[in-house]
Copies of this chain bind each other. A is one copy, B any other.
Amino acid sequence: MTTEKMPATVRVGNTALGGGHFALIAGPCSVESEDQIIGVARAVQQAGATILRGGAFKPRTSPYDFQGLGAEGIRLLLRAKEATGMPIVTELLALRDLPLFEDVDMIQIGARNMQNFDLLKEMGRLKKPILLKRGLANTLQELLMSAEYIISEGNDQVILCERGIRTYEPYTRNTLDLSAVPALRELTGLPIVVDPSHATGKASLVPSMAMAAAAAGADGIMIEVHNDPACALCDGQQSLTPETFADLSRKIFRIREVLA
C-alpha cells in the first residue's frame, strides 16, 4: 500500500487540509435555490467555514424521494462560489455527469459508492481533490484500499471522511466512529475529515460531536447548515442554523488551540 507515502496536505481552491491545515466545510444538505445557497454560503463563510458543501445529485434509498436539483444544483453552487470566493464540494453519482464538475473544487464520493471501483478508478484519472466517504459498514482497511484505487491511477489528492457506521443503536442515524481519526492517522498520511451531521442525524447532537471530532484531531469537519432547517427539502432535522454554527465554529477553533 502506498497511502503511507502520500503528501499530508491537499489543496482545495484557496484553502487546504492536512499537514496542519484545517478546514471547516459547511452548507446545506441539498442546494435548493440561488438565494438559499448564496445566503447559507455567506453566513457560514462569515462564521469561519472555508469550503462550501451542497448536494446537487442526491443518493436516496427510494427512487421516489427528492433526487436533488442535478445540473441546476451545480450551476447554483458555482454561482455561490463566484459570489463568495469559497471553493465548493459536491457529490458525483454517475460518470456521465462528470463534465458538469469541471469547476467544482473537490468531488465527493459518497458512502454508498465507496466500493464502486469503476467510479474510483475514474476519480484517479482526474487532477482534483476527492473526498472519499467511508461506507456504511466498511473497515478502515477497506477505506484505505478504496483510496488506493484512486491513488494507483495517478491522483493522490484524496481526503478520507468518517461519517458514521451502521450499528444496532437506533437513537442516532449511524454511530460516529471517532476513533477512526487517530486510527487512520496511524495508518496513512491522507487528511481526515469528520461529518457529524450524517453520523448522528440529529441537529441537537452535532455540536458536541463536532467539538469531539476537533479534539480527536480531525483535519476538517463537514457540517450541514441550513437557513431554515424546518423547511429543508432533505435532512433538515440534522441541519444547524447559521447562528448555532457560528457559536460552534468559535469553540472548534478554541479546541484546536489546545491540540496545537
Contact = CB atoms under 8 A, between A and B. Distances in A.
Nearest to A118: B94
Contact of A95 (B64, B95, B112, B200): B95
A93 B170 CA distance: 28
A177 interface: yes
**Size band of the A side of the interface?**
35 or more
A43 to B, nearest CB: 23
A182 to B, nearest CB: 4
A117 B59 contact: yes
A209 B178 contact: yes
Number of this chain's copies in the complex: 4
Given A148-B62, A216-B209, A167 B169 contact: no
Contacts of A118: 93-94, 96
Contacts of A84: none
Nearest to A147: B63
A255 B215 contact: yes
A59 B183 CA distance: 26
Interface of A: 59-64, 93-96, 112-113, 115-118, 121, 135-142, 145, 148-149, 152, 165-172, 175-179, 181-183, 186, 199-200, 204-205, 208-209, 211-217, 251, 254-255, 258-259
